[in-house]
Structure 1
Amino acid sequence: MMSNLFSNFDPSTIFFSLNWISSYLGILIIPMIYWLIPNRLMILNSKLCMTLHKEFKILTKKNSSTLIFISLFYFIFFNNLLGLFPYIFTSSSHLIFSLALALPIWLTFMIFGWINNNQMMFAHLVPQGTPPILMPFMVCIETISNIIRPGTLAVRLSANMIAGHLLLTLLGNTGPMLKFMVLILIFTQILLFILEMAVAMIQSYVFAILSTLYSSEVN
């Protein structure tokens, strides 16, 4: 029995060590036959990878660096999708998980940019066409917006996962009270579950594409 509505987000509700292992359960979902015999799942995965590669290549202008963001997309997508299943801990709904992804990526871009291309980094602090009198203010604004980027990436991912799970939990807890509207509630839950599956993919794509955009600024 959960003590409150947020207990399903508590890592220590069942077993602390086993809950965080759910981040790697996506590897177990892929059957062994996927790697041996070409099938529809492999074809769909290949098309998705090529589509992401083409989009990321336009932003990064490098073919080799797209593999990092494609892997990031798949890792977040599997975690978001697995969190929709009952009794599986949603690691992507925690800031410690999303910050552990966003902060190292942002720090790597910043260190690489300021060491190898500091003139371009200074140029990004002042947008083109800014009046000279507003330049000090624009530098402050751009610096603050650059510093909070990992926080916005992490909060965006975690907040969307928490919101959808809370809505599903709230509707599920009202089932015993709605004796004559159970079918309507089940239909609403199914529609919301489909929406959450779309949100799981959209949020992983947004996280990956924003990371790609941040990397394109240091080149």
Structure 2
Amino acid sequence: MMSNLFSVFDPSTSTFNLPINWTSTFLGLMFIPVSMWLIPSRHLMMWNLLMTKLHEEFKTLLGNKSKGMTLLLVSLFSLILFNNSLGLFPYVFTSTSHLTMTLTLALPLWMSFMLFGWINNTNHMFEHLVPQGTPTVLMPFMVCIETISNMIRPGTLAVRLTANMIAGHLLLTLLGNNGPTINQSLLWMLITAQILLLMLESAVAVIQSYVFAVLTTLYSSEVN
């Protein structure tokens, strides 16, 4: 039963022995030509406003040492948002519901931050291992705790995004499977619940991409 339930997340579709599910990751590129029109549309103006607000917020979190880092973070937000949103459409594979995708995003970013911090700001990184005001007796334990918390950061980033995307899709799948067997008088309740869940999942898609980008920003600001 569980294998059939989670089979909706199985990237098994293939053509010429090549899996084509992961090509849905690049479906967001279809929205780029919209920005090439001479007169911007309302969609483009809203998107530009969102990107500007994110740029200002990330710049504030990073401080004066951003130097183009906000471009990477805004692009990361856009990539995750497009994948989360397009995954709500029927027959579109949700790549962000797999640790293969989320760890690919989180692990290189975390590793680059750690390497940059330990190579260029070694004393600053050592100071972070012992919070200010820690008693002398607790310092060895705090070093262990802070080291472990730093090492599990990419895992928590990846699992948070994956778990939130899987949970909503599983609820939609479970309710949708009850459609053919449910009483016709209760069918309207099922449809209403599906619509409400779809609205909730749309909000989760935006929130989780924002949380991923903001946490990445905070992790990068710590090494400076």
Normalization by structure 1: what TM-score? 0.95
Distance of 2:111 and 2:126 partners within structure 1: 16
Name the amino acid aligned to 2:153.
Answer: R
Q: Of 208, 212, 217, which residue of structure 1 is paired with 2:217?
A: 212
Counterpart check, 1:186 vs 2:195: no
User: 1:171 corresponds to which residue?
Assistant: 175
Q: What is the CA–CA distance in structure 2 between the aligned matches of 1:215 and 1:111, rounded to whole Å?
A: 11
Relative to 1, partners in 2 of residues 1:151 and 1:27: Cα closer, same or farther, differing over 3 Å?
Answer: same
1:76 to 80, 105, 116: 80
Which of 134, 156, 163 aligns to 1:152? It is 156
| Paired position in structure 1 for 2:91 | 87
- Aligned-pair distance for 1:34? 3.2
Relative distance call for 1:141 and 1:31 in structure 2 (3 A) is closer
Deviation of residue 173 (structure 1)? 0.5
Given the alignment, which residue of 109, 113, 118 partners 1:114? 118
* Deviation at residue 17 of structure 1 after TM alignment: 2.0
Cross-structure match for 1:19 = 21
Structure 1 stretches of 5 or more lacking a match? none
- Equivalent pairs counted in the alignment come to 217
Question: Does structure 2 conserve the Cα–Cα contact (< 8 Å) formed by 1:76 and 1:92?
Answer: yes
Question: Relative to 1, partners in 2 of residues 1:195 and 1:72: Cα closer, same or farther, differing over 3 Å?
Answer: same
Distance, in Å, in 1 between the alignment partners of 2:217 and 2:35 is 29
Q: Alignment partner of 1:181: what SS?
A: helix
Q: Which residue of 1 aligns with 2:10?
A: 10
Distance 1:211 1:166 in 2: 27
Q: Residue 98 of structure 1 contacts residue 158 of structure 1 at CA under 8 Å; is this kept in 2? A: yes
Aligned-residue CA RMSD in angstroms?
A: 1.5
Instruction: Confirm or deny: 8 A CA contact 1:57 1:63 kept in the other structure.
Output: no
Q: How does 1:89-108 map to 2 (within 5 A)?
A: 89-108=93-112
**AA matched with 1:218:** V
TM-score by length of 2: 0.93
Q: How far is 1:80 from its partner?
A: 0.5
Gaps of 5+ in 2: none
Q: Does 1:202 align with 2:207?
A: yes
Call closer, same or farther: CA 1:199–1:169 in 2, change over 3 Å.
Answer: same
8 Å contact from structure 2 (residues 13, 19) kept in 1? no
Aligned-partner Cα distance in 1 for 2:23–2:192: 32
Specify whether residues 154 and 31 from structure 1 end up closer, same or farther in structure 2 by C-alpha distance, changes over 3 A only: closer
The aligned counterpart of 1:47 is 49
Where does structure 1 differ by over 6 angstroms across 4 or more consecutive aligned residues?
Answer: none
- Deviation for aligned residue 1:46: 1.0
